[in-house]
Chains A and B, each alone.
Chain A
Amino acid sequence: MYRKAEDILETSPWQELTTGCEIYEGGTSRLVKTGEWRSMIPSWDESKCKQCLLCTPFCPDSSIPVTDGKRSDFDFDHCKGCGICYKVCPFGAIDWKEVE
């Protein structure tokens, strides 16, 4: 049974789970919008950013997308607002505030 992870929901009856709860694809954590869990939120000031990319590997949720060697704005669907990027940025290009 090749049921996709996106089709396995909290409303699925047991017959619609996979055997042993196996998951037959990669990167399924994308489906879980952990951004909803935020109580704090980072913001990125592109003008202060030197593109040193120190923030990217520190992000525990892979929520700082990098394309062609340059970061862009946060993936707010998945950023949990932990503030680590704010702490490690050497140039004050990341701010971190309460969600309004």
Chain B
Amino acid sequence: MIMSKRDRLSGNEAIATAMRQINPDVFAMFPITPSTEIPQYFAQYVADGKVDTEFICVESEHSSLSACIGAEAAGCRAISATSSAGLAYMSEVLYVAASCRLPIVLAVACRALTGPININHDYSDSMSVRDSGFIQIYAENNQEAYDNYLQAHRIGETPDVRLPVMICEDGFITSHALENIELEDDDAVKAFVGEYKPENYLLKHENPLAVGPYGTSPFYMEARVAQAEAMKNAKRAILDVAADFEKTFGRKYGFFEEYKMEDAERALVIMGSSAGTAKAAVDELRENGEKVGLIKIRVFRPFPGEELAEALKNCKAVAVMDKSEGFSSMGGPLFAETASACVNLENIPKMIDIVYGLGGRDFTVDHTKRVFARLEKIVKTGETGPVYSHFGQRDLREEVQ
């Protein structure tokens, strides 16, 4: 085991540090709050000669990812960072990157989408592009954002995966909060991440290459099936890289974290920084002998459906916590995935969806306890009640809170 260094960094600086240690070939950037600090820190590394990355300041996020696509196809390791409207503006090219199977790594400080205009955290942005073909990995805090970033390139570059990766942190809550962190040694990181050696690339002169062809209907379906298979392969790659990460640096990761789930009758399925807050509530309720737990989803794409169903199968009631609105009128994206994951369980737990925390609306330990209290009522009465509801808004309808 290699010794790590104790430090204190914000999520943005943690991600920028991981980028510096990896020293990618190209960073194409356009700034947007709250991810702006990532290229800002990185620009300093470039100026200080700490990296030899080609740092390209472009005119929009559509262009920043396009530049990454060109660079990655040319054989480079290419990265970018964005948030919110920037990710939305990128969305067309996200699909290009994924379908061209270019393992770009994109850091996203997740922020609400307009409107009303808002700069604070929720997952409207990353969830809006969940079907773009990017692998999506989410972090609870700065440490996980850093660790996930260190694993991202290897996951994406795995030969039978070759997919771009989104490393998501919570805007402001994680991106701008200073916390303790264990940083790994530069050389150890470089050794872990390794060199990028694509088999084929545009600048390989002895092997001409065409990228991004037109796919007529006799080919399009086959190409999409191949891409879907690659996403299935990503599940194995994510676990392989996590296992090596644990062996090398000692911190353990999987598709999700099960927190006090062994005998849990009531559980939350939750993501990001709120999971940390909810853990404190679980601890308090456990002290009172309540059988509660939570599952913190780390990997949203590919979605670990079978594993999640297995982890939830003994629960009586589950609240899925969605920090983005899907406007489906029947729940957010995490609920849709969780419910479909559990659809073939013999005893499906009672399941509700709670849309919360939109646009930076705070979520506290007390709020978590209220959600568990609602699950308790469901277990006692056997009545699920409203399946889909919002939490934390000012509301004239008292019963929904």
Contacts and interface: CB of A to CB of B under 8 A. Distances in A.
Q: Do chains A and B touch in the complex (CB under 8 A)?
A: yes
Contact of A28 (B100, B101, B210): B210
A14 B230 CA distance: 12
Contact of B222 (A2, A17, A19): A17
A19 B211 CA distance: 10
Interface stretch (B213-221, B280-288, B311-319): B213-221
B161 to A, nearest CB: 10
Given A17-B219, A17-B222, A19-B226, A24 B101 contact: no
B200 A17 contact: no
A11 to B, nearest CB: 9
Nearest to B214: A21
Contacts of B387: none
Contact of A20 (B102, B222, B225, B229): B102
Contact of A12 (B100, B222, B229): B222
B223 interface: yes
A22 interface: yes
Interface string A17-59: 1011111111010000000000000000000000000000000
A14 B162 contact: no
A21 B218 contact: no
Interface centre among A2, A14, A21, A28 (most CB of B within 10 A): A21
Contacts of B102: 20
A78 to B, nearest CB: 18
A20 B210 contact: no
Given A20-B100, A20-B162, A24-B200, A14 B208 contact: no
Contacts of B221: 14
B226 A14 contact: yes
A14 B219 CA distance: 8
A23 B213 contact: yes
A22 B74 CA distance: 13
Contacts of B211: 20, 22
Contacts of B215: 21
Contacts of B200: 22, 24
Contact of A25 (B208, B212, B218, B219): B208
Contact of B209 (A8, A10, A15, A23): A23
A83 B261 CA distance: 74
Contacts of A23: 209-210, 213
A69 interface: no
12 contacts: A8-B219, A10-B218, A13-B222, A15-B226, A17-B222, A17-B226, A20-B162, A20-B211, A20-B212, A22-B200, A23-B213, A26-B208
Interface of B: 99-102, 162, 200, 207-213, 215, 218-219, 221-223, 225-226, 229-230
